[in-house]
Amino acid sequence: MRSLRAVRRNYIYDLPHAAFLKEEFDLGKDLSQEIGRRRTFAIISHPDAGKTTLTEKFLLYGGAINLAGSVKGKATARHAVSDWMEIEKERGISVTSSVLQFEYDNYCINILDTPGHQDFSEDTYRTLMAADSAVMVIDASKGVEAQTRKLFKVCGMRGIPIFTFINKLDREANDTFDLLDEIEKELGIATCPINWPIGCGKNFKGVYDRKTANVITYEDTQKGTKEGETTVIPLSDEANAVSYIGDELYEKLTGEIELLDGASAEYDLDAIRAGKLTPVFFGSALTNFGVEIFLKYFLEMTTTPLPRKSDIGIIDPVENDFSAFVFKIQANMNKAHRDRIAFMRICSGKFDASAEVRHVQGDKVLRLSQPQQIMASERKVVDEAYAGDIIGVFDPGIFSIGDTVCMPKEKFAYEGIPTFAPEHFARVRQVDTMKRKQFVKGITQIAQEGAIQVFQEFKTGMEEIIVGVVGVLQFDVLKFRLENEYNVEIRLEPLPYEHIRWIENPDIDLDRLTGTSDMKKVKDMKGNPLLLFVNAWSVGMTVERNAGLVLSEFGRN
């Protein structure tokens, strides 16, 4: 058997390695091979940039969904993908991130979807904690947008590789150099275009692949079908290339490539893997153009499941036995039962459903109940899974976000998942003050699941409760769930705060801390002091006025 390191070396350095993968895996299942062929990533974007469409196309190439025809196919795909969430939707509960697994070219791919729009919540951020890399979809006519910026920040915090897919080239697009400039300036990451668009909108002719120096032409006949008609022409074959893309675009392209070769960051796989350089691809998810090229390059460049930090040191995905951490808890999927599903990212080894595991934080040895995996359109019970995979297990109310499970003989904990800054705040008023006990129980449990964050006035106890959420829909979820599950009616009074900061240095004397007039001192459920501000300017002023004060946008669990 090849050693882990030999296999890894192949993965990392001998690219492309798809052929290697095929040969090796036909020989049978082996832990390091199973883990080595896994790619677990999240797709991030601002709403409407094309994240869903791109995900569907990935599934299509992986054969996980079928497309009979464009329109029908798209509807079917959407339905299939969103099935899992229907139950929650019907119940008025926010749509949470879903996980899809499929096979492509001998890779086993886990896609973590990050919900956008009004469904945006802390779960969206937490999902990124479970991913080894992220695909950032940008609308070519819009550039970097607000939500992309926020999600990017979280990816940056983890230093995971980020791949950029600039979408909708079949429509009018911003200037390509301007788009790259914007990514570099707004997000602070260097860019390295892997391909380059030739025209856009009605004039979109295809992309130029910088590695092979080929022009790959676009035919507008590819809607919904898997294999579009593309022709690959070496750029050096001028006459042929011109016959496809025309004189003007040929000249423009050669000029741009020359500029690019001189000005853009060099391709550097180490920098990509360290999250310091983002490879950029162009295409049109709707018409399928550029999707498979992207998928192939992406799978080669991105990492296998990464080692993770724990309180006993780094845990290696292959050399260590089974371990996982909980990154999301989905409450009450079934109205009849108060059950919850805890989503775990397997970080090392092989999960065997029949074996006992240790829940470290609960200090109990148990068997994970009804482990499930989501395979494109359905949930299925799994007997085994590997590092890189995500499983959802039945949770009788014992797990919390960030908890670790490992083999019974071991006892270590993964680094906690940070608490992300809420952006909307409201004071909670109980309509019937007699139901105090249910109210406190309900709000505490919902906060434990991580759907909301609860704060109290700094000097008092639970009398004055402030809730903070990442997405406003979570307020409705809270109200709905308190009424339906705990029989408690509440009123929410919106507060003007938009910025929250954790105080990093606990030795600061909070009574003497002087802030701006809009600043509010609060504490979280664990008693940690925090500051709320109405605007970003006040944050800066407060830091300036209090020597030594260190504020953070992320809290530690």
Q: Which residues contribute to the site for ligand G4P (CB under 6 A)?
A: 45, 47-53, 116, 167-168, 170-171, 284-286
Whichever of 283 and 371 has its CB closer to ligand G4P, that residue is 283
Q: How far is the CB of 157 from ligand G4P (least distance, A)?
A: 22
Residue in the structure block whose two tokens are 């709403």: 47
Q: How far is the CB of 48 from ligand G4P (least distance, A)?
A: 4
Whichever of 47 and 416 has its CB closer to ligand G4P, that residue is 47
Whichever of 206 and 317 has its CB closer to ligand G4P, that residue is 206
Alpha-carbon distance 51 to 43, whole Å?
Answer: 7
Tokens matching residue 190: 């260097």
Tokens matching residue 169: 């080239």
Alpha-carbon distance 30 to 8, whole Å?
Answer: 14
Q: How far is the CB of 75 from ligand G4P (least distance, A)?
A: 8
Q: How far is the CB of 285 from ligand G4P (least distance, A)?
A: 4
Q: How far is the CB of 195 from ligand G4P (least distance, A)?
A: 15
The CB-side HSE value for 53 (13 A sphere, CA atoms) comes to 25
Alpha-carbon distance 386 to 321, whole Å?
Answer: 10
| Cβ-Cβ contacts under 8 Å for 128 (sequence gap 6 or more) | 42, 44, 112, 114, 134, 151, 154, 155, 158, 160
- Whether residue 67 contacts residue 108, with contact meaning beta carbons closer than 8 Å, is answered with no
Alpha-carbon distance 219 to 228, whole Å?
Answer: 7
* Coil/strand/helix, residue 459: coil
- Whether residue 396 contacts residue 387, with contact meaning beta carbons closer than 8 Å, is answered with no
- Whether residue 198 contacts residue 254, with contact meaning beta carbons closer than 8 Å, is answered with no
Alpha-carbon distance 258 to 176, whole Å?
Answer: 14
H/E element, 361? none
User: 106: which DSSP letter?
Assistant: T
Whichever of 170 and 403 has its CB closer to ligand G4P, that residue is 170
Q: How far is the CB of 70 from ligand G4P (least distance, A)?
A: 10
Whichever of 34 and 170 has its CB closer to ligand G4P, that residue is 170
Comparing CA positions, the residue from 17, 38, 14 lying closest to residue 385 is 38
Q: How far is the CB of 181 from ligand G4P (least distance, A)?
A: 22
Q: How far is the CB of 160 from ligand G4P (least distance, A)?
A: 20
Whichever of 285 and 488 has its CB closer to ligand G4P, that residue is 285
Whichever of 116 and 228 has its CB closer to ligand G4P, that residue is 116
Whichever of 162 and 467 has its CB closer to ligand G4P, that residue is 162
- The residue count of the chain comes to 557
Whichever of 170 and 395 has its CB closer to ligand G4P, that residue is 170
Whichever of 61 and 533 has its CB closer to ligand G4P, that residue is 61
For CA atoms 492, 494, 498, 504, give the dihedral sign: negative
Whichever of 283 and 468 has its CB closer to ligand G4P, that residue is 283
Q: Is the peptide bond before 47 cis (omega within 30 degrees of 0)?
A: no
Alpha-carbon distance 36 to 540, whole Å?
Answer: 45
- Whether residue 224 contacts residue 69, with contact meaning beta carbons closer than 8 Å, is answered with yes
Whichever of 169 and 393 has its CB closer to ligand G4P, that residue is 169
Q: How far is the CB of 389 from ligand G4P (least distance, A)?
A: 24
User: 102: which DSSP letter?
Assistant: E
Q: How far is the CB of 76 from ligand G4P (least distance, A)?
A: 12
* Coil/strand/helix, residue 132: coil
Q: How far is the CB of 169 from ligand G4P (least distance, A)?
A: 7
Whichever of 297 and 439 has its CB closer to ligand G4P, that residue is 297
- DSSP state letters, 428-452: EEESSGGGHHHHHHHHHHHHHHTSS
Comparing CA positions, the residue from 19, 218, 203 lying closest to residue 105 is 19
Write b or e for each residue in 452-463: b if 16 or more Cβ atoms lie within 10 A of its Cβ, otherwise e.
bbbbbbbeeeee
Q: Which residue type occupies 223?
A: K
Q: How far is the CB of 219 from ligand G4P (least distance, A)?
A: 15
Within a 10 A sphere around the Cβ of 122, how many other Cβ atoms? 23
Alpha-carbon distance 282 to 166, whole Å?
Answer: 5
Q: How far is the CB of 71 from ligand G4P (least distance, A)?
A: 9
Whichever of 41 and 439 has its CB closer to ligand G4P, that residue is 41
Q: Which residue type occupies 471?
A: G
Q: How far is the CB of 123 from ligand G4P (least distance, A)?
A: 16
Tokens matching residue 316: 């290696």
